Chains A and B, each alone.
Chain A
């Protein structure tokens, strides 16, 4: 058995092999997440592994192209250039991007490589772009920034509040459990500007304006407080800072909230009553909450809401950020972030630093490093000279791509390590071929903190190597010995240095379906739900938040609000799914969703070519006229290189989490005449 390489659900699946070649996929029937089901991506997860485009040898830049090279050549060159740049410009002139698609072990090694070998805290990964606001926001409120409950609890909940998550398309196997809960009589409340499939099942669908989540949540909390629905006992025993927070709430009566969000005051009241009065209430959110300049505030508002009604610390009650990538939870846990080591131990904490220094026999830098967006700015200004990117594609995934390209082209040296030649690899100096999920060993941590073992189905294609082996080989060449007998030995090191992973070892994971952290010791059975009896940090903190509008609201010049996201058949920058025949056949081109009323005004029909432009660039694509998207809003998926939505998006970031505002920017839409 192995784990699906797509989203954060972490479904168990089997890869079928005939003569050393993968021929199919089937779901695990007894897995607690997917229980015999898979989404369409999971069912087709085997296909890209054998795709002829797979990188099979290292490549080195020669003139304007890339030529094949031996491992020896590529690694020597990389080691020499990184050492040179470090000697000349200091360790902080190098930036490292780790990968939420790689295993925990590999992320740990990458983190070790950046900190112990290169000597910089400049390590980050795509969690910056999806859930950095969660990691920051929930850690401040509770002391732990992860999904508090387990997926298998969902079906028994009596109320589900889903805000900013297109669950049926993005986390289909979680939506399956939600649907089951609704079938069993649970109430479903969905807050999303778009009429998504999950909203079709909602008892109430709140279509608030994009970027007004704080106001909506404050309005709901206002009602809870003013109507006396607060769980006073919970607030008194388990939280702090309630009074200043309650004071702030007074400014958000439902009438005011209606003006900001467009949601009727009555609906705000009704949702507040339903949510607060029901027990076993689970709150779910995803990118619709996090990807805003107020991302951290949005998360804090969600945290306040669950504390206010005491919906946390029990089975079937909690706050559940749905993580997007198969191992984004793990990559965060492993400390592929500029400010923490594995297990969220701060680099600025001398005790934590000393622990890692002793284990790794190196002096480690004390100041937090640069985030992805800061790395791009530093590259543009010339203070960042080299980057080592593993399993990420910033030239598709980051906002304001023209800016990112300009920044990355200024780098003296760029190494890209991936399974496919992606947009970023095209401008790299060295490209290192990595093995896919089916070809290596290690663990992924899914959105419910479940650490699961991968099962190696076949050997690596061509000369490609598992990412972990590449990092170790490179490290050896840079004069720091990293030798492990296998991924299990890396896991032993992780367990030694990471309290929440203390009891997670491969031999324990091979039985059953993995372990959910925190799992502090070898006899611990794992933790299905968090914050039982007390919060990870002691008392839960109400953090006062205030509504701020999006950074770039629509105006006269750019009258539409653009929001980006994913569609069911594709995934992120498309390197895997767009090489899968059925998925690509199903959604071969990028479509901009536009409301029929807007379409009529602009004489746009279904399939018309439109030009969508923002202050940063423009793309041309076909229109899809649909009621799903509200008036005044355009929705574009970001999977397609030929119409890359991120050329348009706004790089403005949340001041705390540095997450860019993918969900709101201002655009203009014109019909393209042929």
Chain B
């Protein structure tokens, strides 16, 4: 028997109420009538079901922006202000008579995140490989083990979405915990992971088995959603162009000129994993935390002695794209991009993945060089648009 059910929409809030008994429920909430953000749900009726396709990524629940890892208390010192402190073991002390006690601060709360998108689930599968293959990252593992994700498949992709070209959405055949497909008055429910199946079966009285009509409706919804994508982007062609050596550094130079070094693409990316570790000294001890970082910053690879091997912004921008377009496929067999379009939404310089892929396509059509003005820098945005009718003839000049 396949793990497929039908949930009447009228039963959704009852179902969520049951789930909440075991876990903290996080879902998309409308904040002050402005933006939809993931927050702990207090009132189930406040959950927004009519969602835009791309919400903030649920990465923060697995790899928070600031995550305390451990705390070292120094005896005699004043206890700092802490939360969620659990001793690793009653006698877990480091060596030395004056040394203190170490507390493990890994998050262990059980949580359900409702309203995740298929692209994010695809991203989490890659995060799992990064954090759990070989060396198992205990902080990620704790959070991952305790988080159940309920996906809502995308019937209405945003204009920025391009998961369809990557096979990471708008519907998945597997890899999720639970996936809901909106069929109007009911949800088509699929469970894939053991925990997902267990969760549905625990409340099986709410579900019925799907009939042929349900399958037909689901198929129709999927088909119409797929037709709605405005961006049709394949990352194979940019990858091919890079590998063929057709993308020269002056292309990356023009891309990097538009980089504001905000880190937004990495922070928003559901599968970027750059982090750094920092120690904070409190009066009574030290807290070690990890926090989001980005490889787009020159200090990320600072070497002893202060050398910055990637001081040029161009090298860093290029590396980010190489990582996603070249290294990911080589190492993990798939692109380091799930087509969620969040970098398109956040990049102030508009040099996001979709823009770069499109710009490279432009290069492909125009020949070897992009449309560049006479002696002046032209943004990648302009590469994507038509060239200006007339140049002012101005060079970057005027001597000071």
Contact = CB atoms under 8 A, between A and B. Distances in A.
B258 interface: yes
Interface string B385-398: 10010001010111
B258 A179 contact: yes
B376 interface: yes
Nearest to B82: A21
Given A20-B83, A39-B260, A40-B262, A207 B381 contact: no
A568 B261 contact: yes
Nearest to B289: A581
15 contacts: A37-B348, A38-B262, A42-B262, A180-B381, A182-B379, A200-B396, A201-B257, A204-B392, A209-B400, A263-B399, A267-B397, A510-B32, A513-B34, A582-B263, A585-B293
A501 to B, nearest CB: 21
B278 A581 contact: yes
A176 B260 contact: yes
A358 B263 CA distance: 52
Contact of B297 (A51, A263, A270, A582): A582
B298 to A, nearest CB: 7
A586 B297 contact: yes
Interface stretch (B41-49, B62-70, B211-219, B321-329): B62-70
Nearest to B382: A183
B306 interface: yes
B392 A511 contact: no
A262 B399 CA distance: 6
Interface in A192-208: 193, 195, 197, 199-208
Contacts of B87: none
B298 A586 contact: yes
A19 B84 contact: yes
Contacts of B376: 203
Contact of A172 (B262, B377, B381): B262
User: Which of the listed residues A12, A25, A29, A511 has the most CB atoms from chain B within 10 Å of its own CB?
Assistant: A29
B291 interface: yes
A535 interface: no
A455 B67 CA distance: 23
Contacts of A512: 33-34
B299 A586 contact: yes
Contact of B346 (A36, A168, A263): A36
A630 B35 CA distance: 45
B232 interface: no
B276 interface: yes
Q: How large is the interface on A (under 10, 10 to 19, 20 to 34, 35 or more residues)?
A: 35 or more
Contacts of B83: 19-21
Given A24-B292, A204-B397, 14 more contacts: A16-B64, A27-B346, A47-B66, A51-B280, A52-B287, A172-B260, A173-B348, A183-B382, A197-B257, A274-B392, A511-B33, A582-B291, A585-B302, A586-B299
Q: How large is the interface on B (under 10, 10 to 19, 20 to 34, 35 or more residues)?
A: 35 or more
Interface of A: 1, 12, 14, 16, 18-31, 36-40, 42-43, 46-47, 50-52, 168, 172-173, 175-176, 179-180, 182-183, 185, 187, 193, 195, 197, 199-209, 262-264, 267, 270, 274, 455, 461-462, 510-513, 568-569, 581-582, 585-588, 607, 630-631, 633
Contact of A183 (B278, B299, B350, B397): B350
Give chain B's interface secondary structure class.
loop
Contacts of A18: 64, 107
Interface of B: 31-35, 37, 56, 60, 64-67, 80-81, 83-84, 107, 257-258, 260-264, 267, 276, 278, 280-283, 287, 291-294, 297-299, 302, 306, 345-350, 376-377, 379, 381-382, 385, 388, 392, 394, 396-400
Nearest to B389: A185
A362 B256 CA distance: 59
A46 B66 contact: yes
A74 to B, nearest CB: 20
B80 A37 contact: no
A607 B263 contact: no
B59 to A, nearest CB: 10
A455 B33 CA distance: 14
Nearest to A630: B400
Nearest to B293: A582
A581 B300 CA distance: 12
B262 A39 contact: yes
A408 to B, nearest CB: 28
Nearest to B38: A16
Contacts of B299: 582, 585-588
Given A19-B83, A43-B264, A200 B377 contact: yes
Contact of A581 (B84, B260, B276, B377): B276
Contacts of B398: 204-208, 262-264, 267
